[in-house]
Amino acid sequence: MGRVEQADACLQPVMALHARHPEVLRLRAGILDLRGDHAGAIDAARQAVAARPDDPLYHNTLGAVLGAAGDFDAAVAALRRACELQPGLAIAWFNLGVMLTRCVRIDEAAAALRRATELAPGHMAARALLADMLRMGGHVDQAASMYRDVLKQQPWQGMAWWGLADLRMDAFVPGDIGRMQTALNDQRASVDDKVATGFALARALDGEGRLAESLGALEQANALARQRRRWDAGAFSASMAAIRSAVPASASASRQSGAEVIFIVGLPRSGTTLVEQILASHSQVEGAGELPDLPMVLTQESRRRGKMFPGWIRDMTGADWQRLGERYLERTAHWRASRPKFTDKLPANWMYVAAIRAMLPAARIVVCRRDPLETCFSCYRQYLVNNEYARTFEDLAAYWREFDSSVHLWKSLHPVHVHEHGYETLMADPEDGIRKLLQACALPFETACLRFHETRREVRSPSATQVRRPLEADTSHARRYGALLDPLRRALGMPPFGA
């Protein structure tokens, strides 16, 4: 249920007597995972599996903690092993569906989730994820109906409430606010349920113009999420400083590979999904979505070298960077099956622009920018799993400053291959903005890109519904909140509202 302190307190007396018992190690792995200690969780889970190699539950735990650490390939392998050992283990099929979703292997994920619901018809979290897939495919009414069915059976199911909130503004009906407030106090709700429901409640209150209450619900939801896992602004700043200083601007400049890929990066909620939808409307471009492949290639290299990124950057040769670039293109080859180019829209890849330039010198990188107040507030009010920097205004501002500093550097070093795309500029003159975007991506102009909202494709992000509509003149939220957002303005170094 996510109650990490209570779980730890229960386990401590057992650990004192039986620290090496495999079941103690398995439970310890779960507690460490909840606390964000991924390395410790994986180590404990591997020890448990070594002691009981034929126990499916142990492989399930190992898969879960590997997935939380971002090692999706290993997670999928561990979870498939759990399903092989016990084909009737619904939780393993559910976790496999989650990991396959993160790997953007949607058909396989849907099959795993359907298997989970067949084995456990009451597994409402699996049904909520299947509803998410309907939403990704543009089947809004079917998704809403499935979310409602989930809530009829489990009114505390947070992902179903958040699914409705993220679907469309008119998805809520009278009485939903009260039902969500009741769900927040339901003893059957896990911490994750309460966090997701809190964000949904804030969205519903916003829709009714109850802005102070909405902000209060957001503060409570973010505070609850932060109790489990905190973001270290100082450590992140030091890591980004090391990345900015470590990669030479001329690394692998003699090679020309990577022209097949367009990276779309930026903070969440800055227009990355919109940019991908525009580019995916082009006849030469496949919109692949938020691919995990680049960070996974870097993680694999960290494991091979025995040190974390960016600690090994200075040890790299041109041949090493070429090897990593080839590995990335191998992993993503299926996205070029029908079109010569594809997009990789994982927002956080802005941290790895220098590595991208070294690995794939011909790749184009689109950096999405939006007004910092709008961007940060939109991150704060969106239920973003594992984006722990979004829990406080101070952390959001610190994250944005690192992004801003890094992008200024990448743009100055790589003016041809790094293109800054302004959300507000696009809103002001869509055709001019789209023409410049296509030019920066070395693509000829096509009128279909102006009618991007007519393009039918799966959109695997929170903006799935919005990008199927024409551009709206005003999508800002911060202005409506006025002085209520002055604490965020202060954190960003901006004057107060009305100044």
φ and ψ of 209, to 5 deg: 80, 10
Task: With cut-offs at 50, 70 and 90, classify the pLDDT of residue 104.
Answer: confident
* Single-letter amino acid, residue 488: L
Say yes or no to pLDDT of 439 above 60: yes
> What token pair was written down for 453?
């909202």
pLDDT on residue 248: 56
Task: With cut-offs at 50, 70 and 90, classify the pLDDT of residue 106.
Answer: confident
Residue by residue, DSSP assigns 266-323 as: ESTTSSHHHHHHHHHTSTTEEE--S--HHHHHHHHHHHHHTS-TTTTGGG--HHHHHH
pLDDT on residue 252: 47
Task: With cut-offs at 50, 70 and 90, classify the pLDDT of residue 255.
Answer: low
From 445, 418, 442, 419, select the one nearest 434 (Cα to Cα). Answer: 445
Residue by residue, DSSP assigns 241-271 as: HHHHHHS-TTTTTT----TTEEEEEESTTSS
Between 5 and 178, the higher pLDDT residue = 178
Mean pLDDT of 166-190: 91
Between 60 and 125, the higher pLDDT residue = 60
C-beta atoms surrounding 442 within 10 Å: 14
Lowest pLDDT segment from 10-14, 168-172, 304-308, 355-359: 168-172
CB contact at 8 A, 353 and 289: no
> Can you tell me the distance from the alpha carbon of 123 to that of 348, in angstroms, rounded to the nearest whole number?
32
Superfamily of segment(s) 122-228: Tetratricopeptide repeat domain (1.25.40.10)
pLDDT on residue 465: 52
> Fold match between 1-115 and 122-228?
yes
> Can you tell me the distance from the alpha carbon of 166 to that of 401, in angstroms, rounded to the nearest whole number?
27
Find out if CATH 1.10.10.10 is the number for domain 233-491: no
Indicate the average pLDDT of the chain.
91
Q: Provide the percentage of residues in the chain whose pLDDT is more than 70.
A: 94
Q: Which CATH class is domain 1-115?
A: mainly alpha
pLDDT on residue 254: 53
pLDDT on residue 24: 96
Task: With cut-offs at 50, 70 and 90, classify the pLDDT of residue 469.
Answer: low
Say yes or no to pLDDT of 394 above 80: yes
* 195-215 per-position pLDDT tens digit: 999 999 999 999 999 999 999
Task: With cut-offs at 50, 70 and 90, classify the pLDDT of residue 168.
Answer: confident
Say yes or no to pLDDT of 103 above 50: yes
Question: Domain-by-domain residue ranges, the chain?
Answer: 1-115, 122-228, 233-491
Task: With cut-offs at 50, 70 and 90, classify the pLDDT of residue 138.
Answer: confident
